[in-house]
Structure 1
Amino acid sequence: MSNEQAPKPPQALRVDGLSVAIHTPTGTVPVVREVGFSVRSGQTLALLGESGCGKSMTAQAVAGLLDPVAEVTGGEVLLEGRDLLRLPPRERRRLAGPGLGVVFQDALTALNPVHSVGAQLAEPFRIHERLSRRAAREKAVELMERVGIPEPRARARAYPHQFSGGLRQRLLIAMAVALRPTVLLADEPTTALDVTVQAQIMELLAELRRETRMAVVLITHDLAVVAEHADEVAVMYAGSIVESGTVEEVFAAPRHPYTRGLLRSVPADRPRGTRLTSIEGSPPRPADLGSGCAFLPRCPLAGDRCATEAPPLNPTGPGRASACHHWKELTRA
């Protein structure tokens, strides 16, 4: 038997130095700062962090869906080697569907309330594959059946408000994967769903990923979802990635105090009535970041160097990186 390792899947998406700023009445505020990550075909990368850390803004920049007040100020977004940020608008729109699919967190506002779900699911096939109305509708019914919508042929004539939250989320996933995208961006895909439905939605995404070999970028703040469904994780704080690596290695031995704080806040295996561990303080506002480490006011390891020099995201081992001057102390803790 050969001892050679199996070749790695091809790189589907690579983001380098992505920066986003928001224009406000008082000036321009950076909200995403030189973010970089990559994900391979058939794998899932989780962008993990607290609300407001820049996860969704990063996803919107990758997808080309930023609000008018926001703009990309630097970096590259390479989809199978093509920089999306430098494509003409028409060519970038052409990649929406076959190249990049998006699942939003609010299914009711993402679906058009005045069109039947069948018509909305059929639209990508009519635009990208030039199918007839009847053929596109048949494809829509097949998709609805694939994502677990009961009585798909009859319910294709229904409207979004006639579906439960879980079924609407399944419809959004069906729309996002209709053209078998190279990369799927899933932005908090289980928000506001009960625990049972959350598990069903995440399992559906996992099945579709295995079937189509698409790469998935999962935006979430749920540590349990990351542990169960992601291969690699990039932890974000205050608009930057502060740690990255495989989920197994990062969760077993974090090399950034913020990651360690997140993991320690999980109430697993704690006796009832004991006090939960938390990270003291609050994340900084983007406009208030100084020249030092953004995590400085909340960090138990902070020293003089942290106050004046922001730590870059540097390699700490094979496939791992951390933005902390004191990461070696964490490995010895």
Structure 2
Amino acid sequence: MALNNLRIGARPWAHLTPLGSGVTIGGRAVDFSPLATTPRIWDEPDLDVAETSLSVYVRARAEGDHSITGLPIFVMRGFRQRCILVPADSPLETPADLAGRRVGLTGWPDSGNTWTRELLTNEGVDLDAIEWFLGPLTPDAPQFDRTGGFPVGPNVRTLEVGDGLATALARGQLDAIMTPFMPPGFYTDGSLRTLQRDSQGAEEDYFQQRRYIPGMHLITVKSALLDQQPELAQSLTDAFEAAKVTNARVRNKLQDAFPWHDQELARTAAVFGADWLPYGWPGDQPMVTDFQAALQAQGLLPAPVPDNELFPHPVAPTTSKEYAA
């Protein structure tokens, strides 16, 4: 009897789009849905597999919810030094300079913001002494509870409905903002800059110390499906790897993303090796350990979840040598 189609939902990352090209995974045809926002697989009856926030997943497991199982397929990674923005004429230059300042951010328990706050604590900044303001990056962004349901201290406030972090920064209400994506005009009007003027250099230093690029989102699967077909864990890992390699081959031939595409690829390979987006375990163990420590230090996790509970289905690490090169 034919197996039901495997329904996968994720944002339309370029390295995932080949999954929508008639592939099969574990004997199942794939229905790939490119989504505008990160899905919450717990609330999605029409999805079997989905991109999921690492923070949400870890905290669910910590609370004893095993209905969703994560795989070490981190489809969203990114350094956080570039995510702290200040006005172009700001005197602030380093994460330590944010001590006691007014800082806006797009969500309190978010994976990316957890990593970004860790940059501050690594420099001895007391997070409780900062005035935090939660809100959307721009007024037209979706409005929702950005505390994530967590009780927050008196130093954490929410912007007025209809306001945005970028506009609050422009009018001087904030000293800095933390955002995963750049506001309109960032690349062209020169009104904002990264806190660390050489954010790329700071990120390279971070990589040399940590040997990973922080992961924010991973692939999760409904546990009942893996119970029925445990070999699907490795099949998914292999399929996501194949999609990544397919995308790289097309990208490297059709170099129209930006004028210096080939030079940037060469620099990326020189710094990070052939694959800056590796999948599998135990390669990501140090990164996940550091992330759980940051969650715990920031009061978002009572205790780390053991590795075998986070990733109960062992999968072989990928061996791609083609993503960056």
The alignment's TM-score, normalised by the length of structure 2, stands at 0.25
The alignment's TM-score, normalised by the length of structure 1, stands at 0.24
- Whose radius of gyration is greater, 1 or 2? 1
